[in-house]
A and B are shown apart, each in its own frame.
Chain A
């Protein structure tokens, strides 16, 4: 029999209803997931990319049995996440990360012993297994220090050590590098990449395109609770095809000028961003023209104009997708 997909969801939704206030309660309704159809095959690293509030954590928690869907279905490793929890939990690992989620007053080794028992790591293998994962994440030297003395990056490594402790087939990593300094983030990404060689499938969420691009074989872009695109990195590049991007920068552009740029034939989009006193306009072009020269000519009254053409990046695709959904 062929392996079931690592993850398969159908029309998955999740609505949060929360009350605010004590006497005069006000109900708020958030549709965190609005119909997710997603299939992730086993093996390699899958990336779920989306901005804050897109629903990444919500989807991760549903798939790892910490949250029930409102409607639709989800199967992980062939098991229903709502009714076959007892089969699923031993087979998956979850890393929510962050400052919390660990017993700070005791050392890393004792944290791992506790969870090894709860996760049912065979008794005889426990100590050996703990040494192995500590070594894997590079915490062997700090294993006997209290977790409260750990840096943010070390805590993240310990979270990952706990996630792989019981040898899961599928590992969920929710924004594994968020809040880490650049060096720790780099180390963590390196560690994640190395885990694939153990044969574990990784489902990773992130709001950094470069991280998804660097680590993941396939990427789904999640925005406002919907999957806006799902493809390989190469496939996502295809989305922009031969598109060109020209960036212009100066101390402000008039609305008229921006309107004129947008009106040029061949221009599909103009997005502006502020950089301190300067404004950057990113112009997406789907034809041979306008060229940089055409644009310089159009803005000839800008003495301090900076202008460059570059290859359209995945970051651009991502921002476009996220923006389209928002409009």
Chain B
């Protein structure tokens, strides 16, 4: 047989292969339908009950709160979880042994999760609007939608780095479960960060979604009072922190891989 030598890998091809694998596994296993389809419905109903009649903009709050909650699960949790799954299945070793850097496998999963997170967000929107009987009046619907996608990308940047933790240790799931609540509240997924004790703010600002969500609220809620620096700097902060996250991910993954090869913990599960 011919010897192809295996130099045909590329970043784009690996990322696409990873997305394809996500889709195939999704289709093969209907249990995925629960978090991706049913959870947003529940989140939407709960948030509607929680925020109902709590001011003129309650509808947007409900949509954002529930939307973020379901997207958090999909985008962030899903990306790291898939790497943990690679550990459990024993597929982490053959995948890392391939010439492609693992980062591009993770990127594929993150992108897939962004898409399913957006679908979750859409479900929340439909549920809340249906229950309410009317759509919220957004000042700039098109901008709002764009910002919404942008928030997903900031979540994805966190998800990418989180996957590195799953490569590093089989205890990542445990760590994430503890950190999840803090992150969820700390980044202002459910309610604005400015309502939290002041000391939490500097930590929250290390996470791109904190900035992006504040910008989203400025855009979608008339009279919203968030960070004092306002919408423009929120956007700058979100872009800058996301860029840093994605910028360091290559070297973070390279280091993490080196570490696990040194420790010999790649096969642990």
Interface residues of A (CB under 8 A from B): 14, 16, 61, 64-68, 86, 89-91, 94, 96, 98, 100-106, 110, 113-115, 117-123, 125, 129, 132, 136, 146, 162, 166-169, 198-199
Q: With the chains together, A105 CA to B21 CA distance in Å?
A: 10
Please state if A98 and B90 are interface contacts (CB–CB under 8 Å). Answer: yes
B142 near A: Cβ within 8 Å?
no
What's the nearest-Cβ distance from chain B to residue A18, in Å? 9
Q: Is the CB–CB distance between A120 and B17 below 8 Å?
A: no
Chain A CB within 8 A of B6 CB: yes
Q: Are the CB atoms of A120 and B9 closer together than 8 Å?
A: yes
* B94 at interface by CB-CB < 8 Å: yes
B25 touches A105 (CB 8 A): yes
A129 vs B3: C-alpha distance when bound (angstroms): 10
Q: Determine if B229 is an interface residue (Cβ-Cβ < 8 Å).
A: no
CA A100 – CA B266 in complex, angstroms? 14
With a CB–CB cut-off of 8 A, which chain A residues contact B4? 120-122, 125, 129, 166-167
Q: Is there an interface contact between B96 and A120, defined as CB atoms closer than 8 Å? A: no
Tell me the smallest distance from the CB of A122 to a CB of chain B, in Å: 4
Task: Tell me the bound Cα distance from A41 to B12 in angstroms.
Answer: 37
How far is B13's CA from A94's CA once the two chains are assembled, in angstroms? 22
* Contact across chains for B6 and A91 when beta carbons are under 8 A apart: yes
Query: Shortest Cβ distance from A108 into chain B, in angstroms?
Result: 12
Contact call A115/B6, Cβ cutoff below 8 A? no
Q: Does B139 contact A (CB under 8 A)?
A: no
Chain B's closest residue to A122 (CB) is B8
Do A101 and B97 have beta carbons less than 8 Å apart?
Answer: no
Q: Does B132 contact A (CB under 8 A)?
A: no
Known contacts: A90-B6, A101-B90, A118-B9. The answer to whether A68 contacts B262 by CB under 8 A is yes
The answer to whether the Cβ of B146 comes within 8 Å of any Cβ in the partner chain is no
Interface centre among B91, B96, B97 (most CB of A within 10 A): B97
Residues of B contacting A118 in the complex (Cβ-Cβ under 8 angstroms)? 9, 14, 17, 95, 98-100, 105
A100 and B91 alpha carbons, distance in the complex (Å): 7
B9 touches A105 (CB 8 A): no
B5 located at the interface, meaning its Cβ lies under 8 Å from any Cβ of chain A in the complex: yes
Q: Which residues of B contact A96 (CB under 8 A)?
A: 90, 93-94
How many positions in chain B have a CB within 8 Å of any CB in the partner chain?
Answer: 37
Question: A219 to nearest B CB, angstroms?
Answer: 25
Taking the closest CB of chain A, its distance from the CB of B22, in whole angstroms, is 11
Tell me whether A167 and B6 are in contact (CB under 8 A).
Answer: yes
Which one of B9, B29, B90, B97 lies within 8 Å of A94 (CB-CB)? B97
**B25 to A103, Cβ gap below 8 A?**
yes
The residue among A16, A64, A118, A146 with the most chain B CB atoms within 10 A of its own CB is A118
Q: B99: which of A89, A132, A169 is its contact (CB, 8 Å)?
A: A89
B1 at the interface (CB under 8 A from A): yes
Task: Given A89-B99, A106-B28, A117-B14, decide whether A66 and B3 contact each other with a Cβ distance below 8 A.
Answer: no
B window 248-269: CB within 8 A of A: 258, 261-262, 264, 266
Residue among B21, B29, B262 making CB contact with A114, cutoff 8 Å = B21
- A sample of 14 more A-B contacts (CB under 8 A), given A67-B264, A118-B98, A118-B99, is A64-B97, A67-B261, A68-B258, A68-B262, A119-B9, A120-B6, A120-B7, A120-B9, A122-B4, A122-B8, A125-B2, A162-B94, A166-B4, A169-B3
Asked if A66 and B97 make an inter-chain contact with CB atoms under 8 angstroms apart, the answer reads yes
Inter-subunit contact B90/A120 (CB<8 Å): no
- Tell me the minimal C-beta distance from A321 to chain B in angstroms: 27
Give the complex CA separation of A277 and B152 in angstroms: 71
Q: What's the nearest-Cβ distance from chain A to residue B269, in Å?
A: 8
Given A90-B7, A117-B13, A104 and B21 contact (CB-CB distance below 8 Å) = no
Interfacial chain B residues near A169, Cβ < 8 Å: 3
A120: which of B3, B20, B93, B99 is its contact (CB, 8 Å)?
B99
Are A100 and B21 also in contact (CB < 8 A) when A67-B261, A89-B98 are? no
Q: How far is the CB of B263 from chain A (nearest CB, A)?
A: 8
Q: In the complex, A105→B25 CA distance in Å?
A: 7
The answer to the question of B24 belonging to the interface, with a C-beta cut-off of 8 Å to chain A, is yes
Among A67, A110, A119, the residue within 8 A (CB) of B6 is A119
